Amino acid sequence: MAFSLSIVHVLVIAESKISLPLDVPQNLFAVVVRSSLGLLILLTVPIFRRLSYELFLRTHQALAMATIYSLWRHLPSKEAFPLAYVYISAGLFSVLLLVQIVLIVHRNGIFRYRLSRAIITDCYGAVHIRIQHQKGLEIDSGQYINLWIPWMPFVSFWSFLQTHPFMVISWTPGKQDTIELFVQPRRGFTRKLLYHAANGHLRSPVVMFSGPHGTSIAMDEYESVLMVASGFGIAAHLSSLKKLIYGYNARLGRTRRIRLVWQLRNQADGIGAVSFLNNALDEDKLDDGRILLITIHLESHDIVIPFGERAIVYPGPAPLSRIFLEEVSGENIKQPEKQIVGQDANKAETWESEKLREPRLIESGKAKDTTRDGKMLVMVSGNDDIRDQMRALVQGHIQAGVSLVELDYQPK
């Protein structure tokens, strides 16, 4: 909007053919304002963010500050009304900044607890970060934090100026005192972090964070959940897996079927997450478990091989259409059978009528296949092609109670 208004302003001045000598400070700062806004719009092109996100972020912030200062210098200093807009905007920004600082201080427990420290390790080519947080923090599944490492000059001299959003893969029903992150090493800071972690150079650095950020997904109302991931998109599903299985074991939700479909380019890309998936499978043991099914599809293989515990690797891309239709049918949903158990009339309440003293249905815990009679949730953290396929599939089954959620983290 601000850029559009500045364009209109430029067109009006050009049409009026008024000269703007740059030796006048107000005119000079008007040019700076428009140039800064133009560069801000140019930086929204994705290619600039991919080259170096840290450089993009700092440049964006510097241009924003230059725009505000130049706008203040451009406006007439003797007229209070135009400057009121700048002062109001600056006041709102200051209040929001102060609120954010207070939240960060409170959630990190800076004055009442020791500062958090991180244990950073190499996890088969990925970075595993365990944050020891004494205060404890409630984090829902599918959320992320912005991590800040104030001082790590041997990794990056500019680390004190950088914050990085990482998905939280841990989940507990209460506050977490150990926050786990699973990070894909890319360029810049995360690649250097992996190098130093692999060589044992990291000694529990002090860390701070903001968050948790991201939407909280109400999953307990769905009878079946289909999770689709590609590459490091698995990190966005791990906390949801733990929450769903905990809800089933504690009888807190309706979910009775979880299907995780994970597509990989090669087997090495998935080795780092095997232990996390095995932990989820270990927790899936109530009533003989097996509400969780994991299928991994490997583009670089042409044979079926085992992968961890209770997981099978299939060759080629995932047949998403066939898998989706299987889950929509509900044929694999675990449903407790009903057994007829007679009621002892001597133990019945005196006020209970004879009609209510009929044999009652009691759940036995045994499982059988049944058709789906509840809602189904599809959660996606995958590449563009996978997301397009799932959108098209879900669109035709919205009336059947199927919902689609694209998670905050989407791998490239």
Give the pLDDT of residue 371. 52
Per-residue tokens: 270: 């998935």
DSSP code, position 158: T
pLDDT band at 170 (very low <50, low <70, confident <90, very high): very high
pLDDT band at 238 (very low <50, low <70, confident <90, very high): very high
Residue of 99, 47, 105, 39 whose CA lies nearest to 67: 39
Element (H, E) at 295: strand 292-298
Q: How far apart are CA 21 and CA 223, in angstroms?
A: 70
- Residue-wise pLDDT tens digits, 38-52: 777 777 777 766 666
The residues, any chain, with a CB within 8 Å of residue 273's CB and separated by 6 or more, are 126, 182, 234, 235, 238
Hey, which residues does 121 pair with through a beta bridge? Answer: 128
Structure-model confidence comparison of residues 142 and 68, the more confident one: 142
- Residue-wise pLDDT tens digits, 306-323: 666 677 788 888 999 999
Element (H, E) at 385: helix 384-395
pLDDT band at 23 (very low <50, low <70, confident <90, very high): low
Give the pLDDT of residue 353. 38
